[in-house]
Amino acid sequence: MSTTPTTTALHALLVDTLALTHYSQLYHWNVTGPHFASLHELFAEQYNELSEASDELAERLRALGGFITGGFANLATVTTLVDPVVGGSAEAQLTSLLAAHEALSTHANELQGLAAEHGDEATADMAIARIQAHDKAAWMLRSLLAN
């Protein structure tokens, strides 16, 4: 396995993306309240987008000689995200997802800097795409939370 600052940051972003995918799907299944239909659909859109992103991140990591760790216990030691709010209000779920998307945008920004510093433009471009996706998701979630 090739371990470089870039592959380490890429792996960390992948693990957090996998966690956020799972959280989004949990909220999709468990959301309740007057905005159920729209939130149910929004959460589905988010976990589907995140699932595709996970695959792209993992394939890039493998292309760089990295290896993806597995198992929930192992992933739990790597992720920086806090546990999801299961059974909470829709507002709590939105707030949780907002914090996670903001964190992943920050992680992707760090990855972009490392990749650019090491001349890895493909990974830097991928990181920029993730920043854009997380920033857009965060904007939508902030808009839903606005009074």
Radius of gyration for the chain, computed over Cα atoms and rounded to the nearest angstrom: 15
Are 22 and 86 contacting, i.e. CB atoms less than 8 angstroms apart? no
pLDDT digits (tens, 9 = 90+) for 89-121: 999 999 999 999 999 999 999 999 999 999 999
What span, in angstroms and rounded, lies between the C-alpha atoms of 79 and 11?
10
The per-residue pLDDT for 1 is 54
Residue in the structure block whose two tokens are 């001349």: 119
The model carries a pTM of 0.93
Sorted by where each begins, the domain ranges of the chain are: 5-145
Superfamily per CATH, domain 5-145: Ferritin, core subunit, four-helix bundle (1.20.1260.10)
| Torsion angle (degrees, nearest 10) of CA 86, 91, 95, 100 | 50
- How far the first Cα of the chain sits from its last, in Å, is 49
What span, in angstroms and rounded, lies between the C-alpha atoms of 91 and 144?
9
